[in-house]
Amino acid sequence: MKKVLVTGAAGFIGSNVVKELLKENVEIRVMIRPGESIANLDGIDCERVTGDLLDIQAVRKAVAEVDTVFHLAAIYSVWMKDWSRIYEVNMQGSRNVLWASLKAGVERVVYTSSIAAIGIAPGRELSNEETPFNQYTLGHHYVITKYLSQQEALGFAENGLDVVVVNPCFPYGPGDIVPTPTGRIILDILKGRNRFIFDGGINVVDVRDVARGHVLAAKKGKKGNLYILGNANVTMDEFMGLVLDAAGMNSNLSLKLPVSMLKTATMALEWLSDNVTHKHPISTPADVDYARQYLYFDNGKARRELGLEFSPVAESLNDSIEWFRKNRYVR
């Protein structure tokens, strides 16, 4: 790598990828969406270009003269008044970046997908890069767009473009400005808004480990391969306990709820968002259906082929909570 482009560079993972690339002594260009907050890039010395992924001319200019592209830009949302934008950006936007990279002779593209684009194994079995996608019936637009756009990226890999796909799990850590879904879970626990648990589990990972995984994928990843970037598989109850312990709070405060009750509550919230508030609900039925599964993943391939190691969960949570407190997200 000599000169790289990072799309989605102002985001949580993207900004950490930029910081990781600073250690590599490479020339960095970042693509910023018009009007997007760039607080995550404050103090970072890099070339900045503004452009929309749906503007093919802007994408071609951004890709010009770089040898490596890290494509992270995407929309994450569990509710939108108009879902067309998520399909346009996550699919056509990605297609624009891939086509531009192919035509410009880019040497390697690291394509940021998600564990949402990987199938879920039954029960508490670990899913891996070969687990067939099986989430079609969820009605979860983000999940579907990430899977379909991932398949597009793999199609480009089969037709000449050197693409490596990375699949981050649930990231957390310092700098979670928005915050992300994992960050919201942490904040809701700390603020006492969420003391409810239900069957299911997630794989959590320090965002800085995810960023390092991106750079290692650029160096060592195999063309057309997927790499899961995840660390610890934990139940929702275990994760709540880890957060409360890291915050020095009473960890015996959880209340288990049946999924049917959560589904009913989120149906009501979604109806209010659709018809009254037109604002993002806390959760939706599709989100509950996805989260009620054990989203457990095997990181063995990333360890073996990329040499990626992972930070202790407790230490990462301490860093995350300290950042939230320092920046007044929570007392």
Query: Tell me, what's the pLDDT at 139?
Result: 84
Nearest to 296 by CA among 142, 172, 121: 121
Domains along the chain with CATH numbers = 3-173+205-230 (3.40.50.720)
Q: Is the pLDDT of residue 255 over 70?
A: no
DSSP string, 248-284: T--S---EE--HHHHHHHHHHHHHHIIIII-S--S--
Omega within 30 of 0 (cis) for the link into 174:
no
Mean confidence (pLDDT) of the chain: 92
Bridge partners of 110? 70, 164
Helix runs in 105-140, H state only? none
Percent of the chain at pLDDT exceeding 90: 71
Burial class (CB in 10 A: 0-12, 13-18, 19+), 286: buried
Query: Tell me, what's the pLDDT at 183?
Result: 92
Regarding beta strands 108-112 and 68-71, do their DSSP bridges make them parallel or antiparallel, or are they unpaired?
A: parallel
What is the CA 70 to chain-centroid distance, rounded? 14
Confidence band, pLDDT 50/70/90 cuts, at residue 74: very high
C-beta of residue 165 within 8 angstroms of C-beta of residue 225: yes
C-beta of residue 307 within 8 angstroms of C-beta of residue 225: no
Query: Tell me, what's the pLDDT at 158?
Result: 96
What is the CA 325 to chain-centroid distance, rounded? 23
Residue with tokens 């891996």: 128
Query: Tell me, what's the pLDDT at 253?
Result: 59
Q: In one letter, which amino acid is 256? A: K
Confidence band, pLDDT 50/70/90 cuts, at residue 237: confident
Percent of the chain at pLDDT exceeding 70: 96
Contacts for 230 with CB less than 8 Å, ≥ 6 apart: 115, 167, 168, 169, 170, 203, 204, 205, 297, 299
Mean pLDDT of the region 241-266: 77
Q: Is the pLDDT of residue 254 over 80?
A: no
Q: pTM value?
A: 0.94
Burial class (CB in 10 A: 0-12, 13-18, 19+), 176: buried
Q: Is the pLDDT of residue 70 over 90?
A: yes
Query: Tell me, what's the pLDDT at 194?
Result: 66
Query: Tell me, what's the pLDDT at 199?
Result: 80
Q: Is the pLDDT of residue 20 over 90?
A: yes
Q: Give residue-wise pLDDT tens across range 215-229.
A: 999 999 999 999 999
